Amino acid sequence: MTEGENATANVTIANKGNSTRTFRGLIESRVGDNGNWGGVAPITSRVRPGQSIQQNVSVNSSADGSVSYRLAPFNQTKTVEYVPPTFALGRSYTTTENVRVTVSNLQTAQSVQISGKDSRRTPPSGERFVLAKVQAVAVGESEGTPRSGEFALKANGRTFSQEDGLTNPLTSPVEGTPYGGVYDPNSGRTYSWYAVWTAPEQISTDAMTVQWTSREESSGVQGESARWTKDGSNSP
């Protein structure tokens, strides 16, 4: 299911006793296999003897990947795979921190130029640079914009990290200033930069996905996510 959308968990509660009983439980969730369980929704139902009732509980997650849900105190567990919302290049996604993010102008290059001495950079043999423009605009009160390092390039089941060492402004084939992220950005101000990755030459841009995933600095835990493909399809 798409990340951020609601899903319905159906819980059946049966009373096999001889008197009317009250069931009190809690739907809990965790991200991945090793996260901490946290409460999502309490359940309280009064059930007559020999009968059962069903309750629907709405669940939602802004995390990317597998999220497990269990019913305490019985610890019956179900796992839901969340898919990040996907947009066509040039379209925007507004984060839960009130920042409108747009990824566009995905392109490749055999070399890039940066300002300063020894300005021409080339990728390893058999690879090429992949560049994408990222724009972030605070559209309300916000604690921070996405950080450049949170954007990954994905293709054919592989993930490519951003190119190290490009700490000076780009001058060719595009122009852009390195960007780390801004805490407490001014509403309405636009921040833009180019993310640069290296990928094998044979991978077409049609097969590429740019994915943003927020990370908690202290724990590194993945959180909110969105992704961009050439036509906005979930499977580029």
Condensed to tens digits (0 to 9), the pLDDT of residues 138-168 reads 998 888 889 888 999 999 999 998 887 777 8
CB under 8 A, 24+ apart: contacts of 146-150: 146/95, 146/99, 146/101, 146/181, 146/212, 146/214, 147/180, 147/181, 148/178, 148/179, 148/180, 148/181, 148/193, 148/195, 149/180, 150/212, 150/213, 150/214, 150/215
Using DSSP, state whether 148 is helix, strand or coil: helix
Q: Report, as an integer, the average pLDDT of 22-26.
A: 80
Provide DSSP, 42-65: EEEEEE-TT-EEEEEEEEE--SSE
Q: Report, as an integer, the average pLDDT of 17-27.
A: 77
**Residues 131 and 166 sit within 8 Å (Cβ to Cβ):** no
pTM: 0.67
